[in-house]
């Protein structure tokens, strides 16, 4: 398959919905890709009758990944420099959202906003949207609505978290 850890996790999630959570390969959040593949291999040895179903799921995930733009220019999108985000008047407020949970650096090595930043902001907005404070809820909803985090996550689906994030052409253009 040549997939990423994200692809392996997606395969496992689909297996979980098909076979039930308890009848899926072990998922160790601290394991390497090779270790995760070994978990799948061991699972197949224990469940040889489900090999064809697993291969169908792998094929589906692989085809989905192949259809997604992960390299090169994508029409009507652009990358945003981290320095441009820092110049925004609301950057001080955005900083906590951009770096929430830190599931990866919010900035790429070459100075662009990373895909991880979108996931961090989405997790932050979800957390703050259930806050008891009305102002915090309003701020979370404003970030979520103004940036349309759901659409940004969909646009960047399949991209590694350390890659520059794709943004619609008119956003901070």
| Domain residue ranges of the chain, discontinuous segments joined by + | 5-67, 77-168
- Residue 161: CB atoms within 10 A of its CB come to 20
Q: What is the CA radius of gyration of the chain?
A: 19
pLDDT digits (tens, 9 = 90+) for 35-69: 888 888 888 898 888 889 888 988 888 777 655 55
Kindly indicate the confidence band of residue 114, based on its pLDDT and cuts at 50, 70 and 90: very high
Residue 68 has what pLDDT?
A: 59
pLDDT digits (tens, 9 = 90+) for 19-36: 886 778 878 878 888 888
| Lowest-confidence pick of 8-12, 16-20, 101-105 | 101-105
**Share of residues in the chain with pLDDT > 90 (%):** 5
The residue-averaged pLDDT of 69-74 equals 60
Cα dihedral 64→70→75→76 (10° resolution): 100
| Enclosing H/E stretch for 168 | strand 167-168
Average pLDDT, the chain: 82
């Amino acid at each position: 398959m040549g997939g990423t850890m994200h692809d392996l996790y997606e395969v496992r999630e689909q297996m979980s919905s098909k076979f039930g959570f308890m009848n899926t390969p072990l998922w160790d959040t601290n394991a390497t890709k090779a270790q995760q593949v070994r978990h799948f291999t061991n699972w197949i040895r224990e469940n040889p009758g489900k090999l064809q179903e697993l291969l169908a799921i792998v094929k589906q995930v692989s085809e989905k990944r192949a259809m997604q733009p992960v390299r090169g220019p994508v029409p009507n999108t652009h990358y945003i420099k981290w320095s441009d985000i820092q110049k925004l008047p609301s950057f001080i407020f955005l900083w906590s959202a951009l770096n929430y949970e830190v599931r990866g650096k919010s900035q790429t090595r070459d100075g662009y906003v990373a895909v991880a930043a979108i996931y961090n902001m989405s997790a932050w907005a979800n957390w703050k949207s259930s806050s008891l404070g009305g102002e915090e809820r309003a701020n979370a909803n404003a970030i979520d609505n103004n940036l349309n985090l759901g659409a940004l996550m969909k646009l960047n689906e399949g991209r590694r978290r350390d890659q520059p994030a794709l943004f619609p052409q008119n956003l901070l253009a």
